[in-house]
Amino acid sequence: MSKFTIKQFFTFILLATVLISCRKTTQKVADAEVSDTYVEDNYTKKEVDIAMRDGVTLHTTIYSPKDTSKEYPIIMQRTPYSSQPYGAGNFKSKIAPNIHMMQDGYIVVYQDVRGRWLSEGHYENMRAYNPNKKTEQDIDESSDTYDTIEWLVNNVENNNGNVGIWGISYPGFYSTYAVVDAHPALKAASPQASIADFFFDDFHHNGAYLLSYFRATSLFGTPRPDGDKPIDTAWYTLPDLPTEDQYQFFLDEGPLKNLDRFFEYETADTPRMAKEGVTDDYFWNELKEHPNYDEMWQSKGLIQHLKDVKPTVATMVVAGEFDAEDLYGPLETYKNIEKYNSDNYNTLVFGPWDHGGWARRKGQNTVGNYYFGDGISEFFQEHIETKFFDHFLKGNGDKNSGLPEAYVFDTGRKDWKTYDTWPPAGVVKKDMYLSPDQELTFEPKEVEEVKFISDIKKPVPYSEDIKTVFTPRKYMTDDQRFAARRGDVLVFETDVMQEDLTLAGDILAKLKVATTGTAADWIVKIIDVHPADEPSYVGMQDHLKMSNYHLMVRSEVLRGRFRNSFANPEPFVPNEKTDVTIKLQDVFHTIKKGHKLQVQVQSTWFPLIDLNPQTYVDNIFEAEESDFKTQTHTVFTDSSIEFSVLE
């Protein structure tokens, strides 16, 4: 295994625009030029260890404006990914959520969460919320955030008493956590691409293990050395896959149990930490030992704890419409705060980005091969994000922020829309049927059986690219023609649209299926088929053309054993017609006149998700080679897709 460098780490975690020092003289952006030394020239830096109520100290870095003639609000980020660079003379090249806030003047705070990097204590991956704290030893991320804010407002000079918090991905999880039992000084929180529940975000989708995140496991599951002491350098390694073809690698490896060796960290200097039969990586062990949505996973989820968010905290949830990592999390965070806290200021920004794309300043906005326009992220940073924090941390903080309830981007028409609610008023539910002859129709037709063979030796790839990645990203907008032309992918398609059809909200696939085996996964993809005369973009992969491009608008998997309960799996009865319902996350996309709407159905998606044995076993992480069987699956043409259509 090769050492995972700090530089690689920050690149992978997608906070490069905020966290990585650029070595160029200046950083050129769409509307500003910021010196590499701007932060050092305009801010003082202080590193402190703040004591929590149980005595554990958390390492915290504070950047304060050198201009001390006025007071500033505090904007903070709590992270498991390090608040470095450490040392009094070492400065980040950029701080704050964006360059406008950096230049406008904020006290910017970064903190290593409990058990990570230079903070004391023991790290728990997705630490469970404790609603019944009785002693000072009863802590969670909410109490750590509260104690940090209490110290900051009382000890940092020139602060105006208002605190905001933001974060992307895992730091987004800590931003959500901050609004639970919030400190009175916390006035604004922006969870962005926030994890909400690891059984539905990142490493799982509806019970299916995302094998594509395999290499990220050790990032969260490697114990700190030397008795869990604070450390300022990376102590973990990423599995070094000896290949550039991850599809073939994982296919050759076979059952998941064969991958244990990547999480045994014994070296000449470091003896095995785990007992026999258990790996050294506690997150990999959790994945293996808890294949179902049991009490362990349920306790780590934050969604169920958003029923009493204080109205003194304004929230702005940010989500990328093509976020391969955390799409469930931000949407469910927004919806649950909205559902249970009707008097709160709670808004949603839903834009054409991959994971964290809104924090970058590239000018041109693309996801994979698909182009959405120019200046979209820059617009968000200046006119949405900055405006939100300025209003609640520098302004009067009332509900008249000048921002809408929902700022959403139509990824078909390629423009922003604003609404008073999300989903917007005027949305109706419409069923379309997976009809015979590969048709997708508004009216049901005769019921037929459409069969395909699911060959475990030739699973459907999730991408046509030959690659090995840390985490996948571009597949969310990939051209799906390569899949449509396979015999084990069923295709259902409308005629050419005679008028625009706008999809706005979630999608429900109501499948009626059967299998010759006792287990199966079901994958549904919603696709916008472009016309033959669609012009191509500069920068696309050379072998692709926009002519007839099959844009994947939304996709999702359900591990069939969880069709009735994520906590209590059950096998299929061979050859018995069975209902399988799959919720696909929200979209805002117009299938334009001249395009076609297509649905693809398949049962493998490799190696995005692990390979289902297609014979029922209690725990797929313990499946043997002999459990894997090729099966024949059936989709019945009274299956339908329920779309949320904006009229």
Cα separation values, 586 from 95, 408, 505, Å: 32, 11, 4
pLDDT in tens, 533-574: 999 998 999 999 999 999 999 999 999 999 999 999 999 999
Residue with tokens 């007071």: 71
Determine the pLDDT at residue 278. 79
For the chain, the first-to-last Cα distance in angstroms comes to 55
Query: What SS3 state is found at 409?
Result: strand
Q: CA-CA distance, 94 to 315, in Å (whole number)?
A: 24
**Other CB atoms within 10 A of residue 397 CB:** 16
Determine the pLDDT at residue 269. 52
Question: What mean pLDDT comes out for the span 448-470?
Answer: 96
Determine the pLDDT at residue 34. 86
Mean residue pLDDT of the chain comes to 93
Is the pLDDT at 32 greater than 80, yes or no? no
Determine the pLDDT at residue 5. 43
Question: What mean pLDDT comes out for the span 496-511?
Answer: 98
Q: What percent of the chain has pLDDT over 70?
A: 93
Q: What angle do CA 252, 256, 259 make, to 5 degrees?
A: 75
> CA 193, 198, 199, 205: dihedral to nearest 10 degrees?
40
Question: CB–CB of 553/644 below 8 Å?
Answer: no
Is the pLDDT at 75 greater than 80, yes or no? yes
pLDDT in tens, 379-413: 999 999 999 999 999 999 999 999 999 999 999 99
Determine the pLDDT at residue 2. 37
DSSP string, 213-281: GGGGHHHHHPPPHHHH---SS---B----S-S-HHHHHHHH-SGGGGGGGG----SSS---SPTTS-S-
Question: What mean pLDDT comes out for the span 588-607?
Answer: 98
What's at 598, amino acid-wise? Q
pLDDT in tens, 37-58: 999 999 999 999 999 999 999 9
Determine the pLDDT at residue 13. 41
Question: What mean pLDDT comes out for the span 424-449?
Answer: 98
Query: What SS3 state is found at 204?
Result: strand
Is the pLDDT at 82 greater than 80, yes or no? yes
Question: What mean pLDDT comes out for the span 636-647?
Answer: 98
Under DSSP, the state recorded for 620 is G
Q: CA-CA distance, 644 to 155, in Å (whole number)?
A: 50
Question: What mean pLDDT comes out for the span 338-346?
Answer: 96
pLDDT in tens, 108-129: 999 999 999 999 999 999 999 9
Least confident of 27-31, 173-177, 258-262, 422-426: 27-31
pLDDT in tens, 247-285: 999 999 999 999 999 999 865 455 555 555 679 999 999
Determine the pLDDT at residue 33. 67
Question: CB–CB of 140/174 below 8 Å?
Answer: no
Is the pLDDT at 9 greater than 50, yes or no? no
Q: CA-CA distance, 183 to 163, in Å (whole number)?
A: 9
